Structure 1
Amino acid sequence: MVGVQLMDNETIDKLLKRFKKKYERAGVLKEFRKRAYYTKPSVDDRLKRARSKRRAQRANEESNA
């Protein structure tokens, strides 16, 4: 789990900001949302292929522009 220690002369605002950054980088919320409901492996594969296809199209458009 993500944790932070209060450093000397550090305000609560800065502590919360550091915590939020660590929390986002660790991917805790992303993982929670991913596990909120079950998706079949075939659906996961289909979504992964669609994301890859969109990414390739964007890269192709940028290289042509």
Structure 2
Amino acid sequence: MLIIPIKEGENIDRALKRYKRKFDRTGTKRQLQERKQFNKPSVVFRVKIQKAQYVQSLRDAENL
């Protein structure tokens, strides 16, 4: 649970903005989305390899 202390005289919109920013940085939303559906370990590994190949191709293209 995220706790955002509100200072006296602080606008509620600013506090809400801080809450949203903190929520995004903690990765809670991403974690909830991952838990919605089970992915086989082989599929997770394959996606990880594909991402690594893509990043490597970008780095190779940058060096040329």
Count of residues in Structure 1 that have an aligned counterpart in Structure 2: 64
User: What amino acid does structure 2 have at the position aligned with 1:56?
Assistant: Q
**What's the C-alpha RMSD, in Å, of the aligned pairs?**
1.0
Gaps of 5+ in 2: none
TM-score normalised over the length of structure 1: 0.88
Q: Deviations over 1:20-45 (max 9, x none)?
A: 11000000001111111000001100
**Deviation, structure 1 residue 2:** 1.8
Equivalent residue for 2:23? 23
TM-score normalised over the length of structure 2: 0.89
- 4+ residue segments displaced more than 3 Å: none
| Separation in 2, partners of 1:26, 1:12 | 21
**Deviation, structure 1 residue 63:** 2.5
Tell me if structure 2 keeps the 8 A contact 1:2–1:26.
no
Gaps of 5+ in 1: none
| Separation in 2, partners of 1:29, 1:47 | 20
Equivalent residue for 1:12? 12
